[in-house]
A and B are shown apart, each in its own frame.
Chain A
Amino acid sequence: MIRLVGITKRYGETEALRDVSLEIKKGDVFAIIGSSGAGKTTLLRIISMLETDYSGEYYLNDIDVRKNQEDLRKRITMVFQKPVMFNTSVFDNVAYGLRIRGLSSREVESRVNSVLELVGLYELRKKNAKKLSGGEQQRVALARALVLETEVLVLDEPTANLDAGNVQMIEAIIKEITDDGVTVVMATHNLFQAKRLANMVAYLNSGELVEVGSVKQIFESPEKEMTKRFIMGETYF
């Protein structure tokens, strides 16, 4: 479904990503692990087509993304690490993407309400989203992306800085949708989370892709020494 070939991204002198190639299949829950500054977010932003200035090739369903950016962007949506809220009600936040797509107001209402039920925010739908707690905002952000029913969902550290209750709730939601066959690409520094949710894992270090494999392979018998050290270090910690 997603194929990246030799992606290199520079910010001035520094290389955020160097020659990254990988493939993500339909229905995968693909976790990108690595310490902070490894380039996880940059990679996700390229996949989400928010970053356009890079070298290399990117195909979505064999269509060249670099030539069709504007059309293809509607097929992928990303949930940012730090939730950004529009200064409107929870309902209007979630409805935004649907309205952009020109859905009828009846359809918007029913889809938004059902997603809000899913993330447990139906009661708060009339409240201004900026007045919610961090955990609630992260759930709004998730609902806002889910409601679009895009082919690919990109999540950047979906549970960073949240309390245990919210982490559990959000992980349960992710679990539920991935069971429905949605393709998910997520970045996380939490190895347990990757283990719990993903079927594929990629280890990124200093902008270079070290190893890609199934959860089982990466966590139980990594090929590279570097991957092993990262897994061990994190696990002991």
Chain B
Amino acid sequence: MTWEYVLKGIEGAFEMIASLDVEVADIALRSIKVSGIATLMAAIIGIPTGVALGISTFRGRNVLRSFFNGMLGIPTVVMGLILYLILAPAGPLGSLKLLYTEMGISFGQMLLILPIVVSFTASSIESVEREIRELALTLGASRAEATLKVIREASAGVLLAVIAAFNRAIAELGIALMVGGNIFVRGGALNTRVLTTSIQMYVARGDIDIAIALGMILLGIVFVITTVSNFLQSRWVLK
């Protein structure tokens, strides 16, 4: 019985992709868009923060480092609930009108994955920091030039951090559901249904085969992104 679902799901996934089902394409693209924007936001905030934490030795650095490390595993439902309460019109950030919108999900996922970007960036900087800095310095670099070299040497690790962050964002359900609301109106411009929320909805409705097909698409996206990043990374090292 279970196997039947899986087989039907795989078949369904291929059918949906082959027939370019508009609704499915819309949902899949929204997933990529929403989590992509979340990842971009997390990157422009998180990479500089991670670099700063990786390079500098100011007081309180360790506290910040452990804070971000601790936030790595925060359950998405907890995050979703907190964000829901903050973003609800009666909440402190209600005036932003982000509840039940795409940008709301992006904002929430950004907060979710920020610790990933910060921590991974900081560790990849730390792993090369001392050696590369001293090497650059002794080869005649100024302090600023040495810092730049450290960042450049850590960039493969930073790319990995960003990819890991995107994969976590696109695969999470709690925030997309509680902050997004799984809204879908045919032809609507303000829909918030993404892959994970539609999967849970179809499961709740008993349409297991559609749910599995959508799951396959989600897996496919994550797989492609990961493969591309691995390829980029190996190019980076082998060049």
B237 touches A50 (CB 8 A): no
Q: Which residues of A contact B135 (CB under 8 A)?
A: 80, 84, 86
Q: A87-B153, A97-B139 are in contact. Are A130 and B237 (CB under 8 A)?
A: yes
Q: In the complex, what residue of chain B is closest to A131 when comparing beta carbons?
A: B238
Q: In the complex, what residue of chain A is closest to B236 when comparing beta carbons?
A: A87
Prevailing SS type, chain B contact patch = helix
Q: Name the contact of B140 in the complex, choosing from A80, A130, A131, A148 (C-beta under 8 A).
A: A148
Interface size on A, residues (CB 8 A): 24
A89 within 8 A of B: yes
A73 touches B153 (CB 8 A): no
Q: A128-B237, A128-B238 are in contact. Are A86 and B140 (CB under 8 A)?
A: no
Q: In the complex, what residue of chain A is closest to B135 when comparing beta carbons?
A: A84
Q: A84-B131, A86-B153 are in contact. Are A96 and B239 (CB under 8 A)?
A: no
B142 within 8 A of A: yes
Contact with B along A124-146 (1 / 0, CB 8 A): 00001011000000000000110
B132 within 8 A of A: yes
For the complex formed, measure the closest distance between the CB of B237 and the CB atoms of chain A, giving whole angstroms.
Answer: 6
A148 to B156, CA, bound (A): 28
For the complex formed, measure the closest distance between the CB of B89 and the CB atoms of chain A, giving whole angstroms.
Answer: 50
Q: A50-B134, A84-B131, A86-B135 are in contact. Are A73 and B237 (CB under 8 A)?
A: no
A168 within 8 A of B: no
Given A74-B140, A87-B156, 4 other A-B residues pairs in contact with their CB atoms under 8 A: A73-B137, A87-B236, A97-B141, A148-B139
Q: What is B's interface to A at a CB cutoff of 8 Å?
A: 131-132, 134-143, 145, 149, 153, 156, 236-239
Q: What is A's interface to B at a CB cutoff of 8 Å?
A: 48, 50, 70, 73-74, 76-78, 80, 84, 86-89, 96-97, 100-101, 128, 130-131, 144-145, 148
